[in-house]
Amino acid sequence: MNTNSLKTVFFMVLLMVLFVGLGGMLAGRAGMIIAFIIAMGLNFFTYWFSDKMVLKMYKAKPITENDAPGLYAIVRRLTTKAELPMPKVYIITNPAPNAFATGRNPDHAAVAVTTGLMDLLNNDELEGVLAHELAHVHGRDILIGTVAATIAGAIMMLADWAQWTLIFGGGDDEDNPLGIVGVILAMIIAPIAAMLVQMAISRSREYLADQKGASLSGNPLALASALRKISAGVQKTPMKANAATAHMFIMNPLKGKNLANLFSTHPPVEERIKRLENMVYAR
pLDDT value at 256 more than 50: no
Query: Which residues are the active-site residues?
Result: 133
SS3 59: coil
Closest CA to 214 of 271, 283, 276, 266: 276
pLDDT value at 98 more than 90: yes
pLDDT for the residue 144 = 84
Closest CA to 213 of 60, 64, 92, 101: 101
pLDDT for the residue 199 = 87
pLDDT value at 247 more than 90: no
Contacts of 241 by beta carbon, 8 Å cutoff, 6+ apart: 58, 249, 253, 254
Model pLDDT for residues 136-156, shown as the tens digit of each residue: 999 988 888 878 877 877 777
Task: State the pTM of this model.
Answer: 0.80
Model pLDDT for residues 186-234, shown as the tens digit of each residue: 778 878 888 888 888 889 999 999 999 999 999 999 999 999 999 999 9
pLDDT value at 161 more than 80: no
Contacts of 170 by beta carbon, 8 Å cutoff, 6+ apart: none
